[in-house]
Amino acid sequence: MSRILAYCAFQYKPEVSVPSMGVKAAPLQVASFAALRLLWSEVEWPFNPAEMQKNAVEFHGVVHHVFGQTAVIPFRLLSVFENEAALKAFAAEHQERFRDDLERLKQFVQMECVVYPAPGKGVEDKSSGTAYLEQKAGLLRAIEHQVENVRHALADLSHQVVVREAKSGHRMFVLVERGREEAFRAIVKGIAVPEQLSRRTSGPWPAAEFLSESVKSPEIAGAK
C-alpha cells in the first residue's frame, strides 16, 4: 500500500532547486498551483516503526534543502494523504492562504532560545511543601527574568517573539531577517546567565511558529 507524503510548500523561483529523493529514497514530485509549489513523494505505507527516526531525518533533510534557499511552510512530520488527488484538493483549497504567509515571511527565519534550570541546580529542598514551592517559584522568576533580558536585548533585531512554557523551562521563538542569524547568536551570547540556569540557542528554522492559524493547523481532509 502507498500514500502521498507532503513535505513543504514554497513560492516558485527558477533558481530554487529541490532534492531528487525524499523519505525512503522515494522520487520527489512538485505540484504547481500558480506561483505556489508543493513538494511530495509516494511512499510505502505504513511506515516501519523501527525506521521512524531515519525517516524523520530524511523528511527534515528535504525541507531544509528548500528552506536554505527560500521561505517554506513545512507540513507535519510524516503526515500522509490517501492519494495525489486528496493532496491536490487540499493545496487548491489552501493555496491563497499559503501564498499570503509565504509572501509575509519570505525575508524571515525562526531562531530559538531555551532557558531552563542548570543541571543539578533545580529545586532541591523537598523537606517541606513550603520550601519546595518557594524554591520552585524562585527558579521560575529567574527563568522569566532571563527571558525578559533576552527579549529586551533582541528588541532591535526581532520582528516578533513568542514565548512558550515547557516542562523544563521557557522556549523563545524569535522572528528575524534571513542573514541576521549570527547577530542573533552574538546578542544572546553576550547576556549573562545566572548560575542556576542554562540556556541554548538553535536555528535558523522555517518560521513555523509565526504562520497564520489557518495555515499552521489547517483541516486536512484525507491526511493521516
pLDDT tens across 30-58, in order? 999 989 999 999 999 999 999 999 999 99
- Do residues 74 and 126 share a domain? no
- Do residues 125 and 91 share a domain? no
- Do residues 158 and 100 share a domain? no
Average pLDDT over residues 185-212: 97
Average pLDDT over residues 71-92: 92
Candidates 45, 43, 41; CA nearest to 19 is: 41
- Do residues 149 and 186 share a domain? yes
- Do residues 55 and 137 share a domain? no
DSSP annotation string for 61-101: HHHHHHHTTS--EEPPTT-EESSHHHHHHHHHHHHHHHHHH
Is 92 domain-assigned?
yes
- 215: confidence class by pLDDT, cuts 50, 70, 90: confident
Above 50 in pLDDT, residue 88? yes
Neighbours of 21 (CB within 10 A): 13
Above 80 in pLDDT, residue 217? no
Above 80 in pLDDT, residue 121? no
- Do residues 6 and 70 share a domain? yes
Is 221 domain-assigned?
no
- Mean pLDDT (the chain, rounded): 92
- Do residues 96 and 22 share a domain? yes
Q: Considering the entire predicted model, what is its pTM?
A: 0.90
Above 80 in pLDDT, residue 104? yes
- Structural domain span for residue 197: 108-206
- Do residues 48 and 78 share a domain? yes
Is 222 domain-assigned?
no
Predicted local confidence at residue 79, as pLDDT: 82
**Residue 43 contacts by C-beta under 8 Å, 6 or more apart in sequence?**
2, 3, 4, 5, 22, 23, 24, 26, 80
Candidates 86, 102, 21, 89; CA nearest to 58 is: 21
Phi-psi region of 222 (alpha: psi -120 to 50; beta: other; left: phi over 0): left
Average pLDDT over residues 108-134: 81
Is 224 domain-assigned?
no
Q: Work out how many domains the chain is built from and give that number.
A: 2
- Do residues 112 and 127 share a domain? yes
- Do residues 96 and 11 share a domain? yes
CATH at residue 162: 3.30.70.260
- Do residues 34 and 90 share a domain? yes
- Do residues 90 and 131 share a domain? no
For residues 150 and 191, give the distance between their C-alpha atoms in angstroms, rounded to a whole number.
7
Above 60 in pLDDT, residue 198? yes
